[in-house]
A = this chain, B = another copy of it.
């Protein structure tokens, strides 16, 4: 990557598992002054290396008891559906949206209050994609051992 050196990569790696670290502490770890770290952060954000900062929340505390993956098989999956995928990504309960290889080429991770909400969500997807949506497969998440470079302690089921 142009204009990104080893120190920048160190910063990115640290931030990935420690998103709320102060500039001072970050500077100590990579051997730079807080001001320099700040400059680099602004550069990295502008370049798109840092997409944003997030806290990893246990969904149960937000009354989101059901987390699920939804895999979509589309009749046509080219960049013309990107705007629809962006719409899906903007929904409040949608945590992640990927395009991947394989027949079921869209993967969505989302959380719900109960299974009824899952049904409603699938209905919304059908409305959005219309006839282009050939199949929607739902898989429930039973356990999360790690997420976003931060390990979860296992909750007893």
Q: Give A residues with C-beta under 8 Å from B.
A: 1, 4, 8-9, 12-13, 15-20, 44, 47-58, 60-63, 69, 82, 85-86, 88-90, 94-102, 105, 107, 139-155
Contacts and interface: CB of A to CB of B under 8 A. Distances in A.
- State the main secondary structure of chain A at its contact with B: mixed
A147 B53 CA distance: 11
A60 B52 CA distance: 15
Of A97, A146, A153, the most chain B CB neighbours within 10 A belong to A146
The complex is assembled from copies of this chain, and their number is 2
Contact of A61 (B47, B90, B146, B147): B47
A56 B54 contact: yes
B55 A96 contact: no
A55 B99 contact: no
A57 B143 contact: no
A50 B57 CA distance: 5
Contacts of A82: 145, 154
B94 A60 contact: no
Nearest to A137: B102
